[in-house]
Amino acid sequence: MFRMIRTAVPALALLLTPLVPSQAQAVAGTPIRVAIVGLTHGHVKGFLHSLPNSTTAKLVAIVEPDQALAKQYAAQYKLDSTLFYTDEETMLNKLHPDAVLGYGTIAEHRKVIEIAANHGVNSMVEKPLTTTVEDALAIRKAAHDHHVQVLVNYETTWYNSNAEALKEIKDGKLGTVRKILVRDGHEGPKEIGVGPEWLPWITDPKQNGAGALFDFGCYGADLATVINGGKTPLSVTAIGQTHKPEIYTRTEDDATVIVAYPGMQAILMPSWDWSFAVKNMEVYGNKGELFTVAGNDIVTRYKGDKSESPAHPAPALPHNQSNSLDYLAAVLHHEVDPSGDLSSLETNMVVVQILDAARESIRTGRTVMLKPLPSR
């Protein structure tokens, strides 16, 4: 299922709607109340930068046990000291927001989501969902048992270029898709200057899941899963290398992953060793090809064309699907059904399967065969 505009409230959305105060407050036309949990994931800076201009979300709390880090953010973003808490339980008991936003380590996502779910509170975490299939299954159980939404935020979800690629695939303009190639990454976290609160855990395979494989392989796994209708792939084959062992002593900084489906391959190329930041996808079908160029442009060539088109802008996404905050608000207001979307829990269960299998393939040097996860 591809991300499309949805205005009706489908049965699945009703089943997932928790009958708790937080959802009762999430009334269309009113800002959702959100709480940040963790400040060690540097992407939180983008959220705090955009928040003052948001009409759909209101920040009601920040949970961060590191007092020095909390004070640093309070000063940098001129945040009221009353917003800050040192533990999630205390904050939830007092405020019961509509959603928590996870900005800690990837390994911490399960705990953050489970605590929120126990309070009937929804979650959106930074990509990827988690570091292991075991944790993914526990997250899904918490979401199901407590009837809450769990969503995953990928920068590339809000790319006009990716949305247009998914639409052209769904509409059959490219024919049967045989291969996709997804390149994601940058020069490396240390090289681009990530903060001291971020670098130690993102280069720790226990806290991040792996190195570049989890940090950037998740983007391609996410797209491949949606392109294949949420199906579990047949197999995953991966190699990982460390080109800069003097910097990345505990994990790989480059990987190539082949994800096999019936009649199709997805080739993922996550790396901390690109010459520059890159997030591109190439789609090859038997009726045409489409290349995404960063967030806004696409290049196409259809069967019968003599050459590729010049790069041109993709159509703009609807406002409520163009960024994480507006999307989260739209989901909680029942304006958008996330089922099968790039951010949805069911999609990201498969993403974790792919990443986990790729990690195992790198460890063993063997192809890993996959089966669908148990339904519950």
338 preceded by cis ω (within 30°)? no
Q: How far is CA 304 from CA 3, 285, 287, 289, 307, in A?
A: 29, 13, 9, 12, 9
Residue-wise DSSP of 77-128: TT--GGGEES-HHHHHHHH--SEEEE-S-GGGHHHHHHHHHHTT-EEEEESS
The CATH fold of domain 157-318+350-369: Dihydrodipicolinate Reductase; domain 2 (3.30.360)
- pLDDT tens-digit series, residues 4-53: 333 333 333 333 333 333 443 466 679 999 999 999 999 999 889 888 88
Are 273 and 256 contacting, i.e. CB atoms less than 8 angstroms apart?
no
Give 134's contacts (C-beta < 8 A, 6+ positions apart).
none
Looking only at the bridges linking them, the beta strands covering 57-63 and 84-85 are parallel
Domain boundaries, the chain: 11-155+324-336, 157-318+350-369
Confidence class for position 1, pLDDT limits 50, 70, 90: very low
Q: How far is CA 201 from CA 48, 56, 143, 189, 304, in A?
A: 21, 31, 26, 11, 50
- pLDDT tens-digit series, residues 118-171: 999 999 999 999 999 999 999 999 999 999 999 999 999 999 999 999 999 999
pLDDT of residue 28: 66
pLDDT of residue 11: 32
- pLDDT tens-digit series, residues 326-352: 999 999 999 999 999 999 999 999 999
**Residue 304: CA count within 13 A, CB half-sphere:** 3
- pLDDT tens-digit series, residues 64-106: 999 999 999 999 999 999 999 999 999 999 999 999 999 999 9
Query: Is the pLDDT confidence value at 301 over 90?
Result: yes
Mean pLDDT across 288-294: 97
Residue 77 CA, distance from chain mean position: 25
b (16+ CB within 10 A) / e for 198-226:
beebbbbbebbbbbbbbbbbbbbbbbbbb
Query: Is the pLDDT confidence value at 183 over 80?
Result: yes
pLDDT of residue 53: 87
Coil, helix or strand for 55? coil
pLDDT of residue 63: 98
Are 1 and 230 contacting, i.e. CB atoms less than 8 angstroms apart?
yes
Are 63 and 88 contacting, i.e. CB atoms less than 8 angstroms apart?
yes
- How far apart (Å, rounded) are the C-alpha atoms in residues 253 and 296? 27
Are 175 and 303 contacting, i.e. CB atoms less than 8 angstroms apart?
yes
- What class has domain 11-155+324-336? alpha beta
Q: How far is CA 288 from CA 161, 165, 196, in A?
A: 16, 12, 45
pLDDT of residue 364: 98
Nearest by Cα to 319 from 304, 308, 330: 330
- pLDDT tens-digit series, residues 222-263: 999 999 999 999 999 999 999 999 999 999 999 999 999 999
Query: Is the pLDDT confidence value at 110 over 90?
Result: yes
pLDDT of residue 20: 38
Q: pTM for the whole thing?
A: 0.92
Same fold, 11-155+324-336 and 157-318+350-369: no
Q: pLDDT above 90 covers what percent of the chain?
A: 90
pLDDT of residue 376: 75
User: Is residue 376 packed enough to be buried (19+ CB in 10 Å), middle (13-18) or exposed (0-12)?
Assistant: exposed
